[in-house]
Amino acid sequence: MAYCNRKTYALRYSDFDFKDELSLTALLALVQESACRSADELGFGYDDLKPLHYGFLVVNTYCKFRRPIRLGETITVETWPLPPRHVIFERHYRVLSGEEEVAALASRWCLVDMNDFSLLLPEKLGETNEKCPYRNEKTVEVPNWKIAKLTEGREVYRMRVNVSHCDHYLHANNTRYLDFFTDCFTMEELSRKRISSFCINYIKQAKEGKEIVLLRQDLDSYTICEACADGDVLTRFRVDFAEDGQ
């Protein structure tokens, strides 16, 4: 039987937004919780890699919604790693409500030496990599991992990275950027739009105290946002809206 980590989550009221739909941040946190559980049982989790001064950092995440996940639902996340390609470790996820698939995601990660953030090949995992039950199945085809640069972005707001944003790598946790980008929109416009998919690219890290500028550009049925600091792009986000808006 093909390898799969499967975990059912009871969702909390605080996981939902003003529309009583699961927030993007909560969804990403849950699938990454499953990714961590999977890595733990496969032998390359946080506790396994920490003594080696290695760590996995997420590079991209893509999500395709079948429909919104609503207050009162319980979801199950299934996940597995694909065979690595050079320095890229890809992982796929299926999100279920009962037997119904409500979302499918894919993410790409890099194994890094935490001393100098150099990229490491899968062979650095040794026997763990050799025996890993990698799986070729994909839950979703990613149209394009790369998000186009803003050409006419407008500043929406500025913020500072605070302690509550940071994780054990001492930079803003990747899931929190979805809060930052959601705040580039108003309740009024999100009330009349339905998100069909989103993609997020992580480029550089932001540590405590760093001021971030949030920029936005609207293009037809989608919007691109950037989080920038000191003239550099830290993270880029694309959100696509359903044509029917329902």
151, with CB counted inside 10 A (0-12, 13-18, 19+), is exposed
Q: Assign 217 a pLDDT band (cuts: 50, 70, 90).
A: very high
pLDDT in tens, 106-149: 999 999 999 998 999 999 999 999 999 999 999 999 999 999 99
Partners of 202 in the β-ladder: 235
Written as six digits, the tokens of 160 are 């500072």
Q: Which residue has the higher pLDDT, 244 or 29?
A: 29
Integer Cα distance of 55 and 48 in angstroms: 9
| CATH label, 5-131, candidates 3.40.50.2300, 3.40.190.10, 3.10.129.10, 3.40.718.10 | 3.10.129.10
194 neighbors 225 (Cβ within 8 angstroms): no
- In a 3-state reduction of DSSP, which class is residue 230? coil
* pTM of the predicted structure, to 2 decimals: 0.95
- pLDDT grade for 245, boundaries at 50, 70 and 90: very low
What CATH superfamily is the domain 154-241? Hotdog Thioesterase (3.10.129.10)
Is there a common fold for 5-131 and 154-241? Answer: yes
> How many other CB atoms are there within 10 angstroms of residue 201's CB atom?
20
For a pLDDT cut of 70, what percent of the chain falls above it? 98
CA-nearest of 139, 105, 153, 148 to 238 is 148
Q: Kindly list the domain boundaries of the chain, sorted by start residue.
A: 5-131, 154-241
Report DSSP state, residue 14.
G
Distance CA 183, CA 172 (A): 16
